[in-house]
Amino acid sequence: MDIVVFLKMVPDVVEELVVADTGKSLDTQFLRMKLNDPDDYSLEEALILKEKYGGTVTVVAMEAAEVDDVLFTALAKGADRIVKIPGDWTGIQAPAIAKVLASYFSSAGRQLGPDTLVLLGSQAIDDLEGEVAPYLSEILGAPYIGVITGISLDAEKKKVSVIKEFAGGLRGEFELPLPCVIGIQAAEKPPRYVPVAKVRSIMKTAKIETVDIAPPEITSGVTIEKMFIPEAAGKAKMIEGEPEQISAQIIDLLKETGILRR
Amino acid sequence: MDPIQINILGIPGLVLFWVVTIIAFVLFGKRITKLVKLLMGAKPENRFDNLGKRILYLFTFVLGQKRLLHEYIIGVAHFLIFWGFLLFAGTFGWNLLKWLFPFIPIPYADDIGIIRIFFVIFSVLVFISLVVATIRRVFFPPAHLQKTADAYIIITLISLVVLTTLFGIGFRAVAVGHEEASLNHADNFLFSVFSSMSADSASGLFLLMMWMHQLVVLGFLAYLPYSKHLHLLASPFGVFFSNADRVNSLDISDAKEETTAGASHWNEFTWRQLLNSFACAECGRCDRVCPALTSGFKLSPREIIHHLKEHILEAGFSSNGKKSSGDNEIRPLIGGIISEKDLWACTTCLSCMDRCPVLNEHIPVIVNMRRYLVSQGTIDNTLQDVLTKMGRYGNSMGQSDRMRAKWTTQGLDFKIKDARKEPVDYLWFVGDYASYDSRIQDITRKTAKVFQKVGLSYGILYEGERNSGNDIRRVGEEGLFDILKEKNLQAIKQSKFSTIITTDPHTYNTLKNEYILNGETNANIIHYSELYDQLVRSGQLKLNKKLNYTITYHDPCYLGRYNGIYDAPRRVLKAIGTNLVEMPRNRAKSYCCGAGGGRIWMEDEPGIKERPSESRVREAVSLTGVEALVVACPKDIVMFQDALKTTGNEGKIGIKDISDLVYEAIE
């Protein structure tokens, strides 16, 4: 099986997010990038599939700050190839990302084969709808399914059956022919740990392949009007005292707000 | 009456004795050669430095039996058996020479009166000691004493050695006659016991005793390296090659290759680590002080060492060219003989190593196996989360590294210097918990206020500081430790200062013993409790009031056992007027809070009897009149405050940092 995992870097929300002076994007000066969490799971699922069924795992990412570390880590975890698409991709949105990723399959020596499985994170903090994967599947002409938590391959290695999570604890099982595009919500196991020493030694010996892809003309399908940090609204009032006093106050409050009528 | 000049069953005694001796020595030599070969096949480690110190260890811990005397009664018994052994082993060698080569013109050892006196004294003392040891073993066995048939075989053999000596001397006295001038008080005493016997039968019995003695000793020699009493041969080497003065560092001197991958097979350990298992006598002193075992974790430091020996005997011997008997599969060391859970339960508190009479080094063995588990990625989820955060942000909390000094921006009406930008006398390495944990930050600010009030020239590294890596290293993530160390060294080297102060004893330990800062920057590294002590003694810390609290003090493992700092915090507590009541387990016997070695980042197993912190808090609460449990480690605050709640002792006692009290005294 030819497994291709696309990894995406997203702003690290542990850091304070600052809106740039233009009011239309984040201030990159304070931004630190990290791997999108669901993408970490899609890499894990790819590695699990490789361990189960054999094949190769190719990890592809568009250039971003700290992406090299992420790629080397993927290699240390067990990926076979790591590929970077160089360029300044700041501000690029889902439809355009899908175009770039689709172009990867028409780059030299690369194609969407009959046994290619494309894995992406089901969503990202800056793409909550998880648009990239369905756009990509449309361009590639391959079927798509998202919010997947488990994949297995059939005996002839022509179809995959996948588990999709629904609200309320329901699960569905679906079958797709290869090649296809799958959005991963979670892998069967949490992403594995790879010791720092292993990543470091791989950094010394391995090289990241690069594939040049021209930026698409339109980098975003939508136009950002304004980006802002929500202002704190409302207030919380702590009610103190004995239980009886507290309950009396609560009743008064409910009356005041008109929820409770005598 | 020469024992070698007799015929037994028609065979000359000399021939028979040669045969028996050769068999015994071949058995002994074969086993020893095998064991030594194994050690030579292990990873290198330089333990040949500082010979003076090593010889001193031999005197203190082998000849002086220092650590055995921690448990007094059996300690004295062992001391006597040991010295008796030296006497009997020495004279055995002497007699062996005379037995094998009768033409050598020397007397037998027991022909010399003064030696007979020593024989009688030590035979009696050793026999009494053996009785004491047997009674203890049978009727009052301490917890975790490994009870094997081995021990009884050895007790029987030693009893035979001393009894044949005693009886031999008695029969000899009767045989040579009362009037003989060479008889002394010891002979006379024994003579009186056997005086009713005829000289002839006494002479026969004397020969019997001599032969029995020699045969028992030869049997002992052959049996020894196959039993747990291998410790008797291996432990002096273990002691000689120990690093008792460097237990606070996990560095392996002259390691020839990367040590990050750890060990899961005998030849991936260093030879000194393997030697632990040969030197172990399975006395269980380590188990009796182990906080993990006491809490109900499965970890037993004694078993870790013993399992390593089992593994060496199984896997080491078979890979040595010889197949193991039968088609038994060789069990893997980790997951087969030793469970992963046991390895993770260790708090690295150092109690086991501190008590071990033969200076075995348990923690390096455990950490080496943890490294293997980390290299395989088989770690607990919460620990994995911490390692990932630590790799990215340099702290275990997963908070932004840029926010490390945020605590300085609230509640302080002064700005702390950035040691990277302006020279200071003291560089304060604050540490993760003191910097980030909201439960500790207030104490950290009090520490800063004390420094400020004293007029100390000090600064911090701001966002240049990372977790020191002490516990990351002990978790087994050696590569991450290296990175943290590099980054910290970078920031430290940017700074101009003369002394580093640390808040956390764990930080203190690694900066002092594993960063090797002294060589590079000539930095002095002290713990804040030591600084307080210096400031009190120099009069710089002016105390405005006496605190009349009755308190008790908990010695943090990494301050006390690891670095021997017991008195500085006690002097400070005394200077500020508190009345210190010691807990039963104080100073080197201090009981771990359970946070060390990365345990603070791991989930407790279900079914734990009593967490170490809970046991410690109960110990403090049980002291009459004690108002506060005082600590000198930020992790202790977290652990003990939590334990107060879980043991239902909230409100009965306060958990105070030494900075809380010093701040109050100078306010």
CB atoms within 10 A of CB A92: 18
- Residue B348 CA to its chain's centroid (Å): 11
- A110 CB near a chain B CB, below 8 Å? no
- Which one has a higher pLDDT value, B311 or B182? B311
Which helix (H) or strand (E) segment holds residue A174: the answer is: strand A171-177
Q: Which range among A11-20, A178-187, A194-203 shows the weakest confidence by mean pLDDT? A: A11-20
Query: Is residue A249 in a domain?
Result: no
Alpha carbons within 13 A on the beta-carbon side of B625: 8
Helical (H) or strand (E) element with A231: none
Query: Chain A: residue nearest B392 by CA?
Result: A34
The CA distance from B561 to B555, in Å, is: 8
pLDDT at A59: 98
Q: Is A206 exposed, middle or buried (0-12, 13-18, 19+ CB in 10 A)?
A: middle
Which chain B residue has the Cα nearest residue A201?
Answer: B479
CB contact under 8 A, B375 and A15: no
**Which has the closest alpha carbon to B469: B451, B454, B482?**
B482
Chain A contact probe: residue of B257, B372, B387 with most A CBs at under 10 A: B387
Measured between CA atoms, how close is A26 to chain B, in angstroms? 17
Structure tokens at B504: 């956390």
What pLDDT, in 10s, does the model give residues B425-462?
999 999 999 999 999 999 999 999 999 999 999 999 99
| Pairing, β A81-85 against β A56-62 | parallel
Contacts of B564 (CB under 8 A, 6+ apart): none
Determine the pLDDT at residue B181. 47
Nearest CA in chain A to B393: A14
Res B313 pLDDT > 70: yes
Give me chain B's average pLDDT, please: 91
Give yes or no: residues B19 and B98 share one domain.
yes
Answer yes or no: is pLDDT of B320 > 50.
no
CB B150 within 8 A of CB B225: no
**Which pTM does this prediction carry?**
0.91
What's the rounded Cα separation, in Å, for the pair B531 and B456?
Answer: 11
Decide: A65 and A190 in contact? Cβ < 8 Å: no
Tally the domains of chain B.
3
Asked if residue B408 and residue B442 are part of one domain, the reply reads yes
Q: Please, what is the average pLDDT of chain A?
A: 91
Residue among A190, A193, A197 whose CB faces B478 most closely: A197
Confidence of residue A9 (pLDDT cuts 50, 70, 90): very high
All residues of chain B having their beta carbon less than 8 Å from the beta carbon of residue A14 are 393, 398-400
Q: Is residue B345 domain-shared with residue B443, that is, in the same domain?
A: no
> For position A27, what pLDDT does the model report?
86
Give the pLDDT confidence score for residue B7 in this predicted structure. 82
Same-domain pairing of B533 and B584: yes
Cα–Cα distance between B433 and B467 in angstroms, integer? 9
Chain B residue numbers with beta carbons less than 8 Å from the beta carbon of A13 are none
Instruction: Tell whether the torsion through CA atoms of A196, A199, A203 and A205 is positive or negative.
Output: positive
CA distance B637 to B397: 16
Helix (H, G, I), strand (E, B) or coil at B355: helix
Cβ atoms < 10 Å from Cβ of B11 = 11
Which carries the bigger pLDDT value, residue A217 or residue B557? B557
Residue B310 resides in a domain = yes
Query: Chain B within 8 Å of A37 (Cβ-Cβ)?
Result: no
pLDDT in tens, B468-495: 999 999 999 999 999 999 999 999 999 9
β-bridge partners, B551:
B580, B628
State the DSSP H helix or E strand holding residue A79, giving kind and residue range, or none if neither.
none
Q: Which DSSP category does B333 fall into? A: I
* CATH number (domain holding residue A106): 3.40.50.620
CA distance B94 to B224: 20
In-domain check, residue B59: no
CB spacing of B402 vs A192 below 8 angstroms: no
Q: Burial level of B296, CB count in 10 A (0-12/13-18/19+)? A: middle
Q: What distance lies between CA B648 and its chain's CA centroid?
A: 34
Phi-psi region of B323 (alpha: psi -120 to 50; beta: other; left: phi over 0): beta
* pLDDT at residue B520 in the model: 60
State the CB neighbour count (10 A cutoff) for residue A89.
18
Whole-angstrom Cα distance, residue B229 to residue B89? 15
| In a shared domain, residues B155 and B24 | yes
pLDDT at B137 over 80: yes
| Tally of structural domains, chain A | 1
Q: Are B628 and B504 in a shared domain? A: yes
User: Under a CB-based contact definition with an 8 Å cutoff, are residues B500 and B461 in contact?
Assistant: no
Q: List the single residue in A192, A193, A197 with the smallest CB-CB distance to B260.
A: A197
Answer yes or no: do A197 and B384 touch at CB < 8 A: no
The reply to whether A48 falls in a domain is yes
- Can you tell me the distance from the alpha carbon of B3 to that of B14, in angstroms, rounded to the nearest whole number? 9
Yes or no, beta carbons of A190 and B381 under 8 Å apart: yes
Check CB contact of A192 with chain B, cutoff 8 Å: yes
Domain of residue A150: give its range: 2-210
Q: How many CB atoms lie within 10 A of CB A252?
A: 11
- Top residue of A14, A37, A77 to mutate, by most chain B CBs within 10 Å, is A14
Contacts of A250 (CB under 8 A, 6+ apart): A239
Q: In B, which residues are within 8 Å of A44 by CB distance?
A: none
ipTM: 0.85
The strand pairing partners of B526, in sequence order, are B501
In the three-class reduction of DSSP (H, G, I as helix; E, B as strand; rest coil), residue B553 is classed as strand
Higher pLDDT, B605 or A42: A42
Beta bridge partners of A60: A6, A83
Check whether B84 has a pLDDT greater than 50.
yes
B23 sits in which H/E element: helix B13-40
| pLDDT classification of A23: cutoffs 50, 70, 90 | confident
pLDDT given at position B178:
56
CB atoms within 10 A of CB A149: 17
| Radius of gyration, alpha carbons of chain B | 30
Q: Shortest Cα distance from B493 to chain A (angstroms)? A: 23
pLDDT, one tens digit per residue, over A135-153 is: 999 999 999 999 999 999 9
Residues contacting B392, CB < 8 A, separation 6+: A34, B398
The token pair that represents A53 in the structure block: 């069924």
Lowest-confidence segment of B111-120, B217-226, B618-627 by average pLDDT: B111-120
Average pLDDT over residues A167-180: 93
Domain that holds residue B337: 245-375
Distance from CA of A194 to the nearest CA of B (A): 6
Token pair listed for B221:
């020699």
Mean pLDDT of A64-86: 96
Domain contains B64? no
Pairing of strands A209-210, A159-165: unpaired
In a domain, residue A74? The reply is: yes
Q: What is the pLDDT of residue A169?
A: 86
Q: How many CA atoms lie within 13 Å of A232's alpha carbon, on the beta-carbon side? A: 2
Of B198, B226, B254, the last residue of a domain is B226
The pair phi, psi for residue B389, each rounded to 5°, is -65, -40
Chain A residue numbers touching B377 (CB-CB < 8 A)? 192-195
Considering B344, B375, B406, which residue would you say is the last residue of a domain? B375
> Which residues does A258 contact at the CB level (< 8 Å), separation at least 6?
none
For position B519, what pLDDT does the model report? 62
How far apart CA B527 and CA B557 sit, in angstroms, is 13
B351 and B434 co-located in one domain: no
Contact criterion met (CB below 8 Å) for B440 and B396: no
**d(Cα B144, Cα A161) in Å, to the nearest integer?**
54
Which DSSP symbol is given to B667?
-
Same domain, B363 and B435: no
Q: What is the mean pLDDT of the segment spanning B362-379?
A: 95
A126: closest CA of chain B, how far (Å): 20
Which segment of A33-47, A242-256, B263-277, B361-375 scores lowest on mean pLDDT?
A242-256
- Give SS3 for A149: strand
Contact A59, A43 (CB under 8 A): yes
Residue B429, φ and ψ in degrees, nearest 5: -90, 105
* Residue in A15, A16, A193 closest to B387 by CB: A193
Q: B619 with B628: CB under 8 angstroms? A: no
B82 CB neighbour count, 10 Å cutoff: 17
**Concatenated DSSP letters for B275-290?**
HHHHH-----HHHHH-
Tens digits of per-residue pLDDT, A108-134? 888 899 999 999 999 999 889 999 999
- Which among B375, B404, B433 is the end of a domain? B375
Taking each helix axis as running N to C, give the angle between helix B658-666 and helix B441-454, from 0 to 180 degrees, rounded to the nearest 10: 40
Question: Residues of B at the A interface (Cβ-Cβ below 8 Å)?
Answer: 258, 260-261, 374-375, 377, 379, 381, 384, 387-388, 391-393, 398-400, 402, 477-480, 482-483
Nearest chain B CA: its distance from A43 CA (Å): 15
- Which residue in B483, B486, B602 has the most chain A C-beta atoms within 10 A of its own C-beta, making it the best mutation to test that interface? B483
Q: Tell if the CB–CB gap between B479 and A195 is shorter than 8 Å.
A: yes
Instruction: Give the C-alpha separation, A133 to A126, whole Å.
Output: 14
**Residues listed for chain B:** 667
Secondary structure (3-state) at B515: coil
- CA dist B278 and A126 (Å) reads 60
pLDDT at residue A220 greater than cutoff 80? no
- For B631, phi then psi, to 5°, come to -125, 165
Percent of chain B with pLDDT over 70: 97
Q: Do A196 and B479 touch (CB under 8 A)?
A: yes
- Residues of chain B with pLDDT > 90, as a percent, come to 77
* Alpha carbon B153 to its chain's center: 27
| Pick from A90-104, B177-191, B209-223, B301-315: least confident | B177-191
Whether residue B441 sits in one domain with residue B425: yes
Which of A14, A16, A198 has the CB atom closest to B393's CB atom?
A: A14
The whole-angstrom separation of Cα B468 and Cα B174 is 74
